């Protein structure tokens, strides 16, 4: 009797492993509900689209990709529990989360398990903690802010700059890098204004900007606050050119700020409006499948899966332990792997170098004005 | 100096809205001893009612009228009949706590039915500037100030110049005697709830284009108006007006000249000073209540 049960268990185990040996398992933990639902849903849909494409063409090294999605509820605590659960199932690579705060608390878990984590967070500190398993899909602040500062100094010819930032990890991280870079380039920061997350009234802050009379204003706030300050800047008649990041010129900001967003410029790492044929094709495929136009988070999820594909094919085998080592320092060219959309190079810290875009809001629409080249 | 002028104008415009909301606080307190901790959410909700009306195809002017009417029904009539009346019997504190629960309920409901994200809201005042004493002042600030001042003057005229107003004051000051001389006290109390609902809907219409329609936007407003009402004098309409304007200006000056991080603390410190040295409020009168 005992031996029958043992034999049965062995058989079941053998069947299970053989089925799974064929598919490469990925685990995704994303913001599928809560405040980050837009971020997480775009990310998830991007992943699903990429996997569908890759599997339709025969998979990676002849093996199909398979993904499980878990919901972090936009909450770092839940994200941690979900990542632990996902890691217990021993995935090949962990995808997500998208929020920097959630990445911060889950990265040590993935590193401990020796599993590479490809995520959407953009806070500078994430890749500065010496984690050997963490990879970005978009620019960290330490890559984007120097480009922003260079643009303000070289193109806007601003000798004096007002910097407005939101007083949280995201805002402070960006502010520190941009102020340092502006200083290095010789543009003087004449007003350095911290504001609160969720702040409604920007009359006093804009009053200070007006008093400082800068050549340019750098605005680094979350979307809603960006819309409010844009309205207030218009209300008080500030005419200095405005520069920001994705958060200043995003579609949501344009919708909220209306006319006041016109003329604002921003540095954008990834945009579905980019004048790049592969990105246009991605946007078309995505819109056809999901019936809406994706934001940059859709691109990030899509790229994450193609990073897995390109790295695995480079190794020539499916080896979770070697994955991170192979991806460090790797350059993936869009000519070889069209799914990566644009040539990209990964640094030893998991940061990326890629071309990016300078976008201006013209009559309520994002218009790509300039393509900023890779740094190296 | 020009900076100071801009700050004063912006502060007065925000303060005028605080004043509208604070007046509602004092009205409800005077007539029914209700401290409405959901007052901020009462300002947030009408904007969403107007947005909902526009979603189903109503033009903006009709949406405003519908929004104000619906606010008066929900935040005036229903609030009094379904929450204040049943809770009042148990005293001021249980009622105050019930209004806190109501605040959470309204916020979550808006989040559920609309979304957690902010929505844009059209302005009744066109954007643009006019020149006053050589300073460019935005039409929006002036519009907010003018509408708020007209509303407050209208209310004061109603209270002091009409028989209805006198009856309301009588009902507020001494309900027992008012009842004896034939004032329909219950109806007067209901009227103050309706007026409060009208004022918050008006405040909503004025502030939402600037603050954006968001489920959480009532929190800041409710707190500022509450402080304004206490600073000015909880038992005086004119106190609430002065308190509102003062807090608006103080908040803006503090953000500019003290520190943006501590701007929220300055009105609080001012509030503590008022409570310590003039507990009845700047324009309020000392009163004793029989318990």
pLDDT of B151-172, one tens digit each?
888 998 998 899 999 998 888 8
Does one domain contain both A226 and A346?
Answer: no
Nearest C-alpha of chain B: how many angstroms from A336? 40
* Dist. CA A61–CA A33, nearest whole Å: 34
Is A200 in contact with B210 (Cβ distance < 8 A)?
yes
For B260, which of A194, A224, A234 is closest by C-beta distance?
A194
Selection from A315, A318, A312, A310 nearest residue A336 by Cα: A310
Residues from chain B contacting residue A204 (CB–CB below 8 Å): 7, 10, 251-256, 260, 263
Bridge partner residues of A71 (DSSP)? A30
Q: Let me know if residue A131 belongs to a domain.
A: yes
CB contact B127 to A (< 8 Å):
yes
Selection from B160, B164, B171, B174 nearest residue B237 by Cα: B160
Q: Let me know if residue A360 belongs to a domain.
A: no
Bridge partner residues of A194 (DSSP)? A165
Eight-state DSSP code of residue B72 = I
The sign of the CA dihedral A252, A255, A261, A262 is positive
Does one domain contain both A253 and A312?
Answer: no
For B220, which of A167, A200, A231 is closest by C-beta distance?
A200
Those residues with Cβ within 8 angstroms of residue B50's Cβ, 6 or more apart along the chain or in another chain = B63, B64, B66, B67, B121, B204, B205
Question: Among the three residues A242, A268, A294, which one is the final residue of a domain in this structure?
Answer: A268
Closest alpha carbon within chain B to A211: B3
Which domain, by its residues, includes A311? 2-138+275-355
Residues from chain A contacting residue B117 (CB–CB below 8 Å): 38, 224, 252
**Residue A3 scores a pLDDT above 50:** yes
A18 — pLDDT class (breaks 50, 70, 90):
very low
**CB proximity under 8 Å: B 60-119 to A:** 116-119
For A236, which of B6, B117, B119 is closest by C-beta distance?
B6
B112-135, pLDDT tens digit by residue? 888 777 888 998 888 777 777 777
Q: ipTM more than 0.90?
A: no
A189-215, pLDDT tens digit by residue? 999 999 988 788 898 899 889 889 999
Q: Let me know if residue A255 belongs to a domain.
A: yes
* pLDDT value of position B135: 74
DSSP string covering A326-341, please?
Answer: HHTT-EE-TTT-GGG-
Helix (H) or strand (E) holding A70: strand A65-71
Q: Let me know if residue A363 belongs to a domain.
A: no
Greatest mean pLDDT among A47-56, A349-358, B27-36, B138-147: A47-56
* pLDDT value of position A211: 87
B104-109 mean pLDDT = 94
* pLDDT value of position B284: 77
CB contact B212 to A (< 8 Å):
yes
* Dist. CA A365–CA A349, nearest whole Å: 35
CATH number at residue B151: 1.10.3470
CB contact A198 to B (< 8 Å):
yes
Q: Please, what is the Cα angle at B19 between B270 and B143, to 5 degrees?
A: 125
For A200, which of B10, B120, B217 is closest by C-beta distance?
B217
* Dist. CA A279–CA A286, nearest whole Å: 10
B56-97, pLDDT tens digit by residue? 999 999 999 999 999 999 999 999 999 999 998 898 899 999
Those residues with Cβ within 8 angstroms of residue A349's Cβ, 6 or more apart along the chain or in another chain = A127, A128
Q: Let me know if residue A41 belongs to a domain.
A: yes
Does one domain contain both A64 and A154?
Answer: no
**CB proximity under 8 Å: B 165-204 to A:** none
CB contact B238 to A (< 8 Å):
no
Helix, strand or coil, per DSSP, at residue A201: coil
Task: Using the CB atoms, write b or e for B48-62: b if 16+ within 10 Å.
Answer: bbbbbbbeeebeeee
Does one domain contain both A283 and A134?
Answer: yes
A9 — pLDDT class (breaks 50, 70, 90):
low
Q: Let me know if residue B289 belongs to a domain.
A: no
A104 — pLDDT class (breaks 50, 70, 90):
very high
Question: Among the three residues A220, A243, A268, which one is the final residue of a domain in this structure?
Answer: A268
Does one domain contain both A103 and A62?
Answer: yes
User: How many distinct structural domains can be found in chain B?
Assistant: 1
User: How many distinct structural domains can be found in chain A?
Assistant: 2
**Residue B290 scores a pLDDT above 50:** no
Q: Pull the structure tokens for residue B142.
A: 């002036």
Nearest C-alpha of chain A: how many angstroms from B103? 18
CATH number at residue A348: 3.40.50.2300
* pLDDT value of position A20: 47
Helix, strand or coil, per DSSP, at residue A186: coil
- Average pLDDT of chain A to the nearest whole number: 90
Is A224 in contact with B212 (Cβ distance < 8 A)?
yes
Closest alpha carbon within chain A to B258: A204
Q: Let me know if residue A174 belongs to a domain.
A: yes
CA A333 to chain centre: 19
A276-294, pLDDT tens digit by residue? 999 999 999 999 999 988 9
**Residue B289 scores a pLDDT above 80:** no
B288 — pLDDT class (breaks 50, 70, 90):
low
* Dist. CA A78–CA A29, nearest whole Å: 10
Placement of tokens 């984590």 in the chain? A117
DSSP string covering A72-105, please?
Answer: -TT-HHHHHHHHHHHHHT--SEEE---SHHHHHH
Task: Using the CB atoms, write b or e for B4-37: b if 16+ within 10 Å.
Answer: eebbebbbbbbbbbbbbbbbbbbbbbbbbebbbb
* pLDDT value of position B291: 43
Question: Among the three residues A237, A268, A299, which one is the final residue of a domain in this structure?
Answer: A268
Q: Pull the structure tokens for residue B274.
A: 């008022």
Does one domain contain both A7 and A120?
Answer: yes
Eight-state DSSP code of residue A215 = S
Does one domain contain both A133 and A43?
Answer: yes
CA A224 to chain centre: 19
Q: Which of A121-125, A295-299, A335-339 has the lowest mean pLDDT?
A: A121-125
B208-217, pLDDT tens digit by residue? 988 889 888 8
Placement of tokens 């899909």 in the chain? A137
A351-356 mean pLDDT = 92
Query: Beta strand pairing status for A265-268 and A356-362?
Result: antiparallel
Does one domain contain both A294 and A246?
Answer: no
A34 — pLDDT class (breaks 50, 70, 90):
confident
* Dist. CA A33–CA A287, nearest whole Å: 21
- Given a contact cutoff of 8 angstroms between Cβ atoms, the answer to whether A285 and A56 are in contact is no
Bridge partner residues of B135 (DSSP)? B132
For B116, which of A35, A205, A258 is closest by C-beta distance?
A35
For B211, which of A194, A200, A208 is closest by C-beta distance?
A200
Q: Which is more confident, B257 or B37?
A: B37
Q: Let me know if residue B236 belongs to a domain.
A: yes
Angle formed by the axes of helices A169-185 and A100-113, nearest 10°: 100
**Residue A1 scores a pLDDT above 80:** no
* Residue A358 phi, psi (nearest 5): -110, 115
* pLDDT value of position B128: 74
Q: Let me know if residue A260 belongs to a domain.
A: yes
The sign of the CA dihedral B115, B116, B117, B122 is positive
Q: Which of A315-319, B7-11, B73-77 has the lowest mean pLDDT?
A: B7-11
A69-81, pLDDT tens digit by residue? 999 988 999 999 9
Is A210 in contact with B6 (Cβ distance < 8 A)?
yes
Residues from chain A contacting residue B3 (CB–CB below 8 Å): 207-208, 210-211
Does one domain contain both A129 and A11?
Answer: yes
Is B212 in contact with A211 (Cβ distance < 8 A)?
no
A238-280, pLDDT tens digit by residue? 999 999 998 899 888 898 898 999 999 999 989 888 899 999 9
Does one domain contain both A149 and A108?
Answer: no
Selection from A87, A94, A85 nearest residue A67 by Cα: A94
Q: Let me know if residue A65 belongs to a domain.
A: yes
Does one domain contain both A341 and A214?
Answer: no
Is B212 in contact with A196 (Cβ distance < 8 A)?
no
- Bond from prior residue into A97 cis (ω within 30 degrees of 0): yes
* pLDDT value of position B139: 83
For B3, which of A193, A210, A257 is closest by C-beta distance?
A210
* pLDDT value of position A153: 95
Q: Let me know if residue B55 belongs to a domain.
A: yes
Closest alpha carbon within chain B to A168: B261
**CB proximity under 8 Å: A 12-31 to B:** none
pLDDT above 90: percentage of residues in chain A = 69
* pLDDT value of position A12: 53
* pLDDT value of position A5: 59
- Given a contact cutoff of 8 angstroms between Cβ atoms, the answer to whether A330 and A349 are in contact is no
A120-129, pLDDT tens digit by residue? 988 888 998 8
Instruction: Give the E-state strand segments of B110-178 in sequence order.
Output: 129-132, 135-138
A19 — pLDDT class (breaks 50, 70, 90):
very low
Query: Beta strand pairing status for B129-132 and A344-346?
Result: unpaired
Those residues with Cβ within 8 angstroms of residue B68's Cβ, 6 or more apart along the chain or in another chain = B46, B198, B201, B202, B205
Does one domain contain both A13 and A117?
Answer: yes
Q: How many CA atoms lie within 13 A of A4 on its CB side?
A: 1
Q: Let me know if residue B285 belongs to a domain.
A: no
Is A207 in contact with B212 (Cβ distance < 8 A)?
no
Residues from chain B contacting residue A231 (CB–CB below 8 Å): 210
Helix, strand or coil, per DSSP, at residue A366: strand
Considering only the C-alpha atoms of chain B, give the largest distance between any 2 of them, rounded to a whole number of Å: 58
Those residues with Cβ within 8 angstroms of residue A62's Cβ, 6 or more apart along the chain or in another chain = none
| Burial degree of A22 (CB within 10 A; 0-12, 13-18, 19+) | exposed
A21 — pLDDT class (breaks 50, 70, 90):
low
CB contact A289 to B (< 8 Å):
no
Q: Let me know if residue B211 belongs to a domain.
A: yes
Bridge partner residues of A26 (DSSP)? A67, A93
Which domain, by its residues, includes B151? 2-123+137-277
């Amino acid at each position: 009797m005992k031996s029958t049960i043992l034999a049965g268990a062995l058989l079941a185990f053998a069947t299970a492993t053989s089925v799974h040996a064929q598919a490469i398992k990925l685990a995704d933990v994303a913001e599928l509900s809560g405040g980050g639902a837009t971020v997480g849903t775009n990310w998830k849909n991007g992943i699903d689209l990429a996997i569908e494409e890759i599997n339709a063409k025969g998979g990676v090294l002849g093996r199909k990709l398979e993904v499980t999605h878990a919901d972090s509820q936009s909450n770092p605590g839940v994200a941690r529990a979900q990542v632990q659960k996902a890691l217990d199932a021993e995935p090949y690579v962990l995808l997500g989360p998208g929020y920097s705060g959630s990445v911060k608390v889950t990265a040590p878990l993935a590193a401990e398990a020796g599993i590479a984590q490809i995520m959407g967070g953009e806070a500078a500190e994430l890749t500065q903690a010496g984690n050997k398993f963490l990879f970005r899909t978009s620019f960290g602040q330490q890559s984007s802010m120097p480009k922003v500062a260079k643009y303000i100094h070289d193109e806007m010819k601003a000798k004096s700059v007002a910097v407005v930032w939101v007083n949280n990890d995201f805002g402070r991280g960006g502010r520190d890098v941009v102020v340092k870079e502006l200083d290095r380039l010789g543009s003087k920061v004449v007003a350095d204004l911290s504001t609160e997350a969720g702040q409604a009234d920007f009359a006093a802050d804009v009053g200070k900007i007006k008093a400082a009379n800068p050549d340019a204003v750098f605005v680094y706030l979350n979307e809603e606050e960006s819309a409010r300050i844009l309205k207030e800047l218009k209300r008080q008649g500030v005419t200095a050119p405005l520069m920001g990041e994705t958060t200043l010129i995003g579609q949501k900001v344009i919708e909220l700020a209306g006319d006041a967003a016109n003329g604002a410029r921003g540095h954008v790492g990834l945009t579905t409006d980019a004048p790049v044929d592969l990105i246009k094709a991605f946007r078309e495929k995505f819109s056809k499948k999901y019936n809406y136009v994706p934001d940059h988070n859709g691109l990030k999820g899509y790229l994450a899966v193609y990073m897995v594909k390109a790295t695995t094919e480079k190794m020539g085998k499916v080896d979770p332990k070697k994955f991170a080592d192979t991806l460090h320092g790797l350059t993936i060219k869009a000519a070889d792997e069209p799914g990566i959309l644009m040539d990209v190079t990964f640094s030893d810290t998991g940061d990326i170098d890629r071309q990016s875009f300078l976008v201006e809001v013209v009559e309520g629409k994002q218009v790509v004005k300039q393509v900023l080249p890779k740094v190296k | 100096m020009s900076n100071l002028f801009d700050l004063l104008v912006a502060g007065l415009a925000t303060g005028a809205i605080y004043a509208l909301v604070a007046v509602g606080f004092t009205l409800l307190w005077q007539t029914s001893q209700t401290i409405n901790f959901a007052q901020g959410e009462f300002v947030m909700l009408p904007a969403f009612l107007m947005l909902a009306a526009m979603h189903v195809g109503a033009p903006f002017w009709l949406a405003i009228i519908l929004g104000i009417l619906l606010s008066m029904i929900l935040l005036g009539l229903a609030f009094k009949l379904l929450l204040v009346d049943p809770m009042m019997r148990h005293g001021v504190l249980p009622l105050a706590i019930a209004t806190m629960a109501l605040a959470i309920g309204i916020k979550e409901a808006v989040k559920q039915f609309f979304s957690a994200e902010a929505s844009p809201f059209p302005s009744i005042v066109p954007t643009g500037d006019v020149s006053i004493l050589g300073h460019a002042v935005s039409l929006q600030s002036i519009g907010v100030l003018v509408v708020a001042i007209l509303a407050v003057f209208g209310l004061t005229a109603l209270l002091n110049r009409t028989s209805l107003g006198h009856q309301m004051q009588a009902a507020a000051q001494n309900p027992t005697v008012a009842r004896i001389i034939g004032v329909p006290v219950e109806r007067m109390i209901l009227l103050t709830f309706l007026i409060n609902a009208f004022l918050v809907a008006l405040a909503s219409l004025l502030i939402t284009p600037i603050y954006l329609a968001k489920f959480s936007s009532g929190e800041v407003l409710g707190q500022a108006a509450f402080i304004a009402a206490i600073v000015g004098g909880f038992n005086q309409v004119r106190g609430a007006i002065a308190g509102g304007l003062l807090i608006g200006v103080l908040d803006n000056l503090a953000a500019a000249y003290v520190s943006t991080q501590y701007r929220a603390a300055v009105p609080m410190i001012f509030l503590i000073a008022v409570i310590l040295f003039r507990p009845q409020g700047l324009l309020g009168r000392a009163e004793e209540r029989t318990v």
